[in-house]
Amino acid sequence: MGLREEYQKKVEAQIREWDAKVEELKAKAEQTKAEAKIEYLEKIEELKAKSAVIKKGFEELRSSGEDVWESLKSKLDTAMEEFKGILDGIMSKFK
């Protein structure tokens, strides 16, 4: 398996893991008080929007040629880091 294929498998697994965490957060947010619930649900929507960007970037990456692959990978890595930062911030509030 080449580097590109390994990276794609890693991203696919990360997307699945994050999708599950977002659903878990949504369930927890539903159990919080109204004021906090609104804040959490807004952050969850932000996560869903960022997730859509990541999924779109991943699909572009999968269908790209070698000439633009590194550029797309860099953009995808940045979006994933941003997503992780938002997710970690929300998760820390639920602990």
Kindly report, residue by residue over 80-95, the tens digit of the pLDDT: 999 999 999 888 887 6
**Contact status, residue 53 vs residue 20, Cβ threshold 8 Å:** no
Does the pLDDT value for residue 1 go beyond 80? no
Domain extent, residue 41, equals 3-94
Q: Which of 75, 33, 23, 31 has the alpha carbon at shortest distance from 54?
A: 75
Cα distance between residue 43 and residue 2, in whole Å: 36
pLDDT computed for residue 32 by the predictor: 85
Does the pLDDT value for residue 12 go beyond 90? yes
pLDDT computed for residue 67 by the predictor: 85
Chain-centre distance of CA 68, in angstroms?
22
Name the domain count of the chain: 1
